[in-house]
Amino acid sequence: MAPKKKKAKDTPQLDNEQRFDKLEYARVPKRVRRLLVEGKLDMSKHAMNAARRWTENEEHTFLVLAGGVGTGKTIAAAWTIEQACEHHDICFMPAPQLAGFSRYGDSDELRWVLCCDLLVLDDLGMEHLGERGYFLSLFDEVVEERYENERRTVITTNFTGEHFVNRYGQRVADRLREAGLFIEIAEESMRGKEDF
């Protein structure tokens, strides 16, 4: 089957204030919003290149950007939100915040994570797993729901290959592999440099 290409959109260009507001609504952190709106991106970097390819081709449900700290994974993931202007239901969620959800007390928040059109789950691996494997169960539920309903999802993590499988299990890894791209970013940290 040929990959699905995005159709040209007739959506108006957003000014910088509108772009900032859209990213804020999706809960993209202020520092990342500022970098995106100011255009401080280097599209030649591996993470940005992977994000661009993923947004241009809707064949894959998942994009996992894995690699060391400071390699542009979060910026690239947030950039996918900015490219998804036609989606009204977009969520940027740090994994530690998701780990803090109560299955019962945060049901609206969890429903948003499960059902939004585009989810960016940032810094997977920084969360506390909790007693009795609560986060692993919750993460499995998120992946399963989004996998079954083909809801686009970007995940950033410092875990690569085998370490990812060891932490989150073969079941999750198989779904991500079948319906997505697992891109390992092997670049040096860009933190403290002028452009990302």
pLDDT tens per residue across span 75-86? 999 999 888 865
Dihedral Cα 163, 166, 171, 173, nearest 10 deg: 0
Percent of the chain with pLDDT over 70: 85
In a domain, 196, yes or no: no
Q: Give the CATH number of the domain where residue 139 resides.
A: 3.40.50.300
In a domain, 192, yes or no: no
Q: 53-92: per-residue pLDDT in tens?
A: 999 988 999 999 999 888 899 999 999 988 886 556 899 9
In a domain, 46, yes or no: yes
In a domain, 172, yes or no: yes
In a domain, 19, yes or no: no
In a domain, 22, yes or no: no
pLDDT at 171: 94
The Cα–Cα gap between 28 and 30 comes to 6
In a domain, 193, yes or no: no
What is the pTM (predicted TM-score) of this model? 0.85
Task: Tell me which residue of 124, 123, 48, 125 sits closest to 80, measured CA to CA.
Answer: 48
Q: Count structural domains, the chain.
A: 1
In a domain, 141, yes or no: yes
What domain range includes position 139? 42-185
